[in-house]
Structure 1
Amino acid sequence: MVLSVLTVISHSEQLAKETVAKTEKFIVETLNIDASTLQSKQLSARALDYYFDTEDLDSVRDLVKSQCLKQDYDLVIQPVSTRQNKKLFIFDMDSTLIYQEVIELIAAYAGIEDRVAEITNRAMNGELDFNESLRERVGLLRGINSSTIWKELEDKIEITNGVRPLTTALHKLGCIMGVCSGGFIPLAEHIKNQLGLDYAYANRLGTDENNILNGETIGEIVNGDKKAELLLEIARRHNIQPRDAVAIGDGANDLKMMSVAGFGIAWNAKPKVQLQAPACLNTESLLDVLYIMGHTEEEINKLIE
């Protein structure tokens, strides 16, 4: 038996009584947990923990996911023993640490953002091979002058709500953090510096002698396999066990790094990604990751000061 914790996180400012009642009914009737053994702890007005023993956590996780998808709350289950041992966080960048997809912002300079966005959406939903989709999208960027583009994009990108306080809190908790992006290194480095992350990895765009994009990438592509490889490499570098690592992203190319990490979180992800990810978070703030780690509102407020 594994002592597990199921965290309920509301998408609104307060957990509705109906949500609590529905969750407790689900735990008792679907997960077959004896109601008399169920223990709970309030983390905030929006988040609540339930503790109980499980025999097959993987099967329970599948049931939990099917219960909360398309609801106005999230359910996240994990072993109590590893909940607060999380020491390494690897984030995707586009649509995770920032709201935008950078390649679409670049494509806007040539008026082809709709064509690029369509390919991006299919790739992030796992309908296209990432390498092929990247080559196709980057090829469409050929001819764009990149002389001032990165500085201009730094002013356009918007960091996702909750990211700054989350990284502040994780710093205080002594966590190592990195961004592994299928996007591009100039902005990944910018985000790394903005948030004080330890690592930034992303793709590089080729240019000619006049800084005109040549429609190609330089070096190894940071795809799903590479993201997983980088997570494990960073863990080894800091003597962190993979089970104590967390991967957070929104696309199909993030699933591999979620699978090698001890814990994975699909952040407002594509539907197919949510079905395969270990956990899903569909709220308006990435700061809610701290609820998943078991912190109360009072503790969170102290961590983000």
Structure 2
Amino acid sequence: MPIARVIAEPAVLSANVSAAIHALEAAGVRVHAAEPLAGLDEVLQFSVDGDAATMRAVLERVFPVADLLVSAEAPVVPQVFVSDMDSTMIQAECIDELADFAGLKDQIAAITERAMQGELDFAEALTERVRLLGGLGEGAIAQCLAERVPPMPGATTLVATLKDHGCFTVLVTGGFHQFADPVADQLGFERVVANRLGVEHGALTGGLVGGIVDSSVKEQVLREEVALRGGASLATGDGANDIPMLRAATHGIAYHAKPKAREAAHGYVAAGDLTSVLLLLGIPRGDWIGD
């Protein structure tokens, strides 16, 4: 039985639940139940018979400012969590911030935006941006990390809570190990998959060391971990290069995402912070670890 969960203020949910039921029924979706999730007044769960895409479209229309997850069955705590880093687990696009030290932020940020929107080939866009950074002193990485890479609100709680429930956590990014490794240490991720900036004589070479982590690698990492550990999987991301990973997960949740990523995912967080992912999974606040 398909399940949809909507997060909004309890007053908003109660004021619109009847309209949502009527709209779903009018669209050919039979509603078996629509009630707050046990212990979570801000989460409204719909149990239905009908097309998932239709259900999602109706609920998005009735609850335009909300977080949403549509699942083939009741969501469960995952055994594997794989997440993008930039603009998902941290409040920055590291390559754009690093470019600012080279006086190239606007130029490189424009390329980043087009790649994240799915308008440019990711590997080509990454190679070009890294080339432009050639000659930048390696010390800019440490300064950038210290000054411009704060964690996303709720990130530490999300990772710690999932780990406490037996979930294995992986940070996988088209960014760089020089950023991802310390971010993973800070947030508690157990594995990191990333690109590596080439460095020689204390400066960036303008190249990469090893293969490129792109959308196919992100999906591959998720599938490998699921094959190894079994159970349900969760993925979070915000850009076009996260789409295969989001689709491959049991629950792919787009976080304040670009339109293509949001449309491709099973659900999205558009209003709350990363702790909304825990609410969508049905994990009550009393079980959260951290702030």
Q: Is the structural similarity TM-score above 0.5? A: yes
SS at match of 1:248: strand
Q: State the shift of 1:167 in Å.
A: 1.3
What's 1:115 paired with?
107
2:93 matched to 1:101? Answer: yes
Q: Residue 51 of structure 1 corresponds to which residue in structure 2? A: 47
Counterparts in 2 of 1:16 and 1:261: CA distance versus 1, 3 Å: closer
Match of 2:274 among 286, 291, 300: 286
Q: How does 1:249-288 map to 2 (within 5 A)?
A: 249-288=237-276
1:29 aligns with 2:20: no
Taking structure 1 as the reference length, the TM-score comes to 0.87
What is the deviation of 1:67?
Answer: 4.5
8 Å CA contact 1:65, 1:75 repeated in 2: no
Contact persistence 1:258–1:265 (CA under 8 A):
yes
Q: Does structure 2 conserve the Cα–Cα contact (< 8 Å) formed by 1:68 and 1:74?
A: no
Question: Which residue does 1:200 correspond to in 2?
Answer: 192
Letter in 1 for 2:161: A
Q: Return the alpha-carbon distance in structure 2 between the equivalents of residues 28 and 261 of structure 1.
A: 29
CA contact (8 A) 2:85 2:173 kept: yes
1:221 corresponds to which residue?
A: 212
Deviates most, 102-111 or 225-234: 225-234
Asked if the contact 1:104–1:113 (Cα under 8 Å) also holds between the matched residues in 2, the reply is yes
Once the two structures are superposed, what CA deviation does each residue of 1:125-180 show, in whole Å capped at 9, x if it has no partner? 1100000000111111111011x223222212110111111112111111000100
Mapped partners of 1:276, 1:66: distance in 2: 17
- Stretches of structure 2 that go unaligned for 5 or more consecutive residues are none
SS at match of 2:40: coil
What is the CA–CA distance in structure 1 between the aligned matches of 2:81 and 2:161, rounded to whole Å?
12
Q: Tell me, yes or no, if the aligned pair for 2:17 and 2:34 is still in contact at 8 Å.
A: no
Q: Indicate conservation of the 8 Å contact 1:179/1:200, yes or no.
A: yes
The equivalent of 1:211 in structure 2 is 202
Aligned to 2:226: 235
Distance 2:269 2:28 in 1: 21
Q: Deviations over 1:159-211 (max 9, x none)?
A: 01111111121111110001000001021111111122110111111122x22
How big is the alpha-carbon RMSD for the aligned residues of Structure 1 and Structure 2? Answer: 2.1
2:5–2:69 CA contact under 8 A, matched in 1: yes
Show CA shifts across 1:26-77 (max 9, x none): 322224315xx324234534221122234xxxx4235414641792113321
1:67-104 Cα offsets, whole Å, 9 max, x none, are 417921133211335x1152111000000000100001
- CA distance in structure 2 between the partners assigned to 1:23 and 1:132 by the alignment: 44
Whether the 8 Å CA contact 2:247–2:264 is kept in 1: the answer is no
Matched residue, 2:287: 302
Please state whether the residue corresponding to 2:196 is helix, strand or coil: strand
Measured after TM superposition, the shift of residue 22 of structure 1 is: 3.5
Match for 1:80 among 73, 78, 100? 73
- Give aligned pairs, total: 287
What's the TM-score once normalised by structure 2's chain length? 0.91
Distance 1:105 1:139, change over 3 A: same
Contact map agreement 1:161 1:285 (CA 8 A) in 2: yes
- Residues in 1 aligned to 2:118 and 2:156: alpha-carbon distance in whole angstroms: 29
Question: Aligned residues: percent identity?
Answer: 30
**Aligned equivalent of 1:135:** 127
SS at match of 1:127: coil
- 2:48 is matched by which residue type in structure 1? F
Letter of the 2:206 counterpart: G
**Contact residue 65 and residue 275 of structure 1 kept, 8 A:** no
